[in-house]
Chain A
Amino acid sequence: RRKRHLSSLVSKRRQRRDLDQTGFIAFSKSVLKWRLIGEGYSSQLSIEEQRYIFRLAFRMWSEVSPLEFIEDIRSPLEDVDIRLGFGTGRHLGCNQRFDGNGQEFAHAWFLGDIHFDDDEHFTAPNSHSGISLLKVAVHEIGHVLGLPHIYRPGSIMQPSYLPHESSFEMDWMDRKAIQHLYGACRGRFDTVFDWIRKEKTPYGDVTIRFNTYFMRDGLYWLYENRNNRTRYGDPVALQIGWHGLPSDGVDAYVHVWSRKKDYVYFFKGTQFWRYDSENDQVFRQDSEGQQYPKLISEGFPGVPSPISTAYYDRRDSCIYFFKGDKVYAFNVKTNSLARGFPKNIRAVFPPVESGDHPDGNIDAAYFSYTHNAIFLLKGTRFWQVVGSRERWRRPFLPRNGLMPHKEVDQQWFDICNVHPAALRL
C-alpha cells in the first residue's frame, strides 16, 4: 500500500508541477504581503532606499495585474507571502549559494523567498552604473508570481541582465503574461472622459489636445489610447491631479462645448463644480460671478440628484443626465429639460440586440474622440451607441441604439488598482 501510495504521489506531483508554457498561478489571494527581512539588508544601499525600490517593484506589478502588494513589517514571518533579503556566498539558510561578484545576481524560490547576491553592485533607479536593483527585483518578483524566463527582447523576464535604458517598464507581452495567470484588471468606473484643452504652439497657433481619463473612487488613470495602456505610474490620487474635486471621487464629468460655450463640469452628490482647465483647478468663482460648488437643482432645474452619470451631446446641445432607469435631456440653450423628458433609458437608447441592454444605473456615459463614439459603461461591461456612420451603413439600426455589450478590459487595457498603502511611494 505504501509503495502504491508513493508511486501515485510521484505521478500526481509530477503532473501538477508540470509548468505549462507560461508559468503557474502561485497565489490564490489577491493581496500579498512582502517584507525585506531584517537579517537580509544590503550593505550597499540605505535601508530606506532598499525598501523604496522594493515598494516600487511591487507597485509596478500591481499596475499591470489584479494583484495588490503591501509591505508588512509586523506580522509573524510565516504570515508574510514574499520575503526578500540580501546575502553573499552561503546565505539566509539557502541551498543555492551565491557565486560572488558577476554572473548570478539573485534567485527566487517557490515559496516566496527572493535572495539578492550582495556581492553584486546593486544601484538605485536611474543611476547608470552597476545592476539596477529595481529591474532585478521586478524580475524576481515575476518568478515568485509564477512567471518563467521569457526570451523575448524587451521582456523583463529575460534571464540575463541587460544594462537597462534610462527607465524600463513592463511591455505588452509581459503584461499579458501575468494577466494570463491572474486575469485582466476589471472593475466599475465612476466616470470616463476626454479632457480637452487648448495649447499655444511656439508660433502662437492654438491647438486642441485631449487626454482620456478613467476615475474610480479617489483614483484616476490617464489612458494612452495610442499605446493601449494607462500612463506609467498611474493610478494617482484624485486630489493630486484634479485640484478642488472631492477626494473620494465624482459621479460625472460633462464638457459643454459649442461655438459660444466651453464649460467643464464635475458632478458629485447634489453638487457640481465648474473646472478651470486653463489653471487646472476648480473655479471658486467664475468670470460670470457664479460661485462653486453649486446645487445641481440650481444649475440644472428639473434634474434630480445625485445622478448616475451624464454626457453632453453636441448634436442637439443637450446634456443627458442618467439616474436609475431614467434619462433627463437638459437643453443648455433653453436652460431647461427638453420636451418629453425624463424618459426611460430603453426608450432613448434601445437595444440593437434584444435582451442585451444595461437597463439602468449606468456608471459612466463617455464620448470618445479616439473612437468618435458614445459608450455607456456599467460594471465591467460597455455598450457602444450606434453612431451616424453606422446608421448610414445600416439604416435599420435604431437611432442611438446600443450595440451588443463588450468587456471594458477588452477595449481599454491594464487599468489596475494598487493597494492604498502603495498609492504614494
Chain B
Amino acid sequence: EKLFHNRDHSDVQILKTHQAPVITDEYKAELFLSRYGFIKPINWEEIQTESSDTYFSEDILDDLQAKIQEGTSVPHSRDGPGSGTHDVHVSQTGNQAFISALKEFQRVSDLPVTGVFDEATQEAMNKPRCGVPDKEIDAYVEPENTDGPDTEDSLSDSFNETGISSSNSSDDDIFNFNDTDTLLVGISNDTNRNSSSFSGLDGQMGKISMNASLSDTVR
C-alpha cells in the first residue's frame, strides 16, 4: 500500500515515479534498436565459425574464463580470436547497420519503411513495450556494475555449478551462465491464418438458429 502517516491518509506518498528517457534523436534510437535486438552488437557466427575450426588461443581462453568467473562481460571482439587486445568494446555500429535496423523496426511496427528516424518512428519507439528483445541477440547482456551481492553470488554460483572446468560438465555448460543473463529472445513470425469457416446449418427439424450466446463478447 502507499506509504502514509496521517490518520486520514492525506499525506499518502504520491510515488515520485521517474520518467523513462524519451527517445528524441538518432543516438537514443540506436540504443533502443540495439537494446531490443534490431542491431546485432556482435556476430557470434564469426567467432563460432572461427572457433569451430580454429581453437581459442590459450590466453583468450584463460581471459574468457577469468572474465566469466568474475561475472563481467565477455569480450565482444569483432576480430575474433588471435586479435591483439581482448577487451574489445562493442564497436559503434555503422550507419548502414542503423538504417537497416531502423527499416526492420518500421516494418514490424507497421510503419512506413523510410529508413529515416521520422516522427512516426519516434512515436512508436516511445510507446510502452515489453522489455524482451524482438530479435535473437547473442550477446551476453552486460551487467550494469551490479552491486547487489546476491546478483554477484547468484551469477558466479550459477557459473560455478555449470563451470567449464568442472569435469562432470554436461554439454551445455558454457552457456547456462549466459542464460541466466540473457533476456528471452524471439523472432517474429507470421504464419498464414488458416481459419476454418463454419458451414451453414440445417438440422433434421429444419432451420435452427445458432444461439447468439452472450459469451461472445465478455469473459
Contact = CB atoms under 8 A, between A and B. Distances in A.
A8 B48 CA distance: 9
Contacts of B181: 95
Interface stretch (A105-113, A265-273, A278-286): A105-113
Interface residues of A, number: 87
Contacts, number: 245
Interface stretch (A12-20, A244-252, A351-359, A397-405): A12-20
Interface string B44-88: 100110011001101001001000000000000000000000000
Contact of A151 (B55, B188, B218): B188
A107 B131 contact: yes
Q: List the 3 shortest-distance A-B pairs measured between CB atoms, nearest first.
A: A148-B186, A107-B131, A99-B20
A46 B2 CA distance: 10
A18 B150 CA distance: 30
12 contacts: A3-B55, A10-B48, A11-B52, A43-B15, A99-B20, A100-B18, A109-B184, A110-B184, A143-B186, A149-B132, A160-B130, A232-B215
A4 B55 contact: yes
A139 B17 contact: no
B94 interface: no
A111 B180 contact: yes
Given A102-B19, A231-B215, A7 B186 contact: no
Q: Which of A6, A105, A233 has the most CB of B within 10 A?
A: A6
Interface of B: 1-2, 15, 17-23, 36, 44, 47-48, 51-52, 55-56, 58, 61, 64, 108-110, 124, 126-132, 134, 136, 138, 141-144, 146, 148, 150-151, 154, 164-165, 169, 171-175, 179-191, 193, 195-196, 198, 201-205, 208-211, 213, 215-219
Interface string A215-259: 000000010111110011100000000000000000000000100
A95 B131 contact: no
A42 to B, nearest CB: 10
A297 interface: no
Given A107-B130, A169-B219, A224-B215, 7 more contacts: A2-B61, A22-B191, A90-B144, A93-B150, A102-B22, A160-B129, A161-B130
B144 A9 contact: no
Contact of A105 (B129, B151, B165): B129
A10 B51 contact: yes
Contact of A100 (B17, B51, B141, B175): B17
A224 B216 contact: yes
B187 A106 contact: no
Given A107-B131, A160-B124, A233 B215 contact: yes
Nearest to B54: A7
Nearest to B133: A149
Contacts of A139: 130
A112 B128 CA distance: 22
Nearest to A234: B215
B68 to A, nearest CB: 11
A12 B189 CA distance: 24
A13 B177 CA distance: 12
A294 interface: no
A344 B181 CA distance: 63
A391 interface: no
A123 B204 CA distance: 50
Contact of A12 (B110, B171, B213): B171
A8 B58 CA distance: 16
A88 interface: yes
Given A9-B174, A21-B189, A209 B208 contact: yes
A43 B16 CA distance: 12
Given A96-B141, A103-B128, A110 B179 contact: yes
B211 A210 contact: yes
B185 A148 contact: yes
A30 interface: no
Contact of B164 (A6, A136, A143, A372): A6
Contacts of B22: 102
A140 interface: yes
Contacts of B203: 369, 372
Contacts of A2: 61, 164-165
Given A11-B48, A224-B216, A372 B130 contact: no
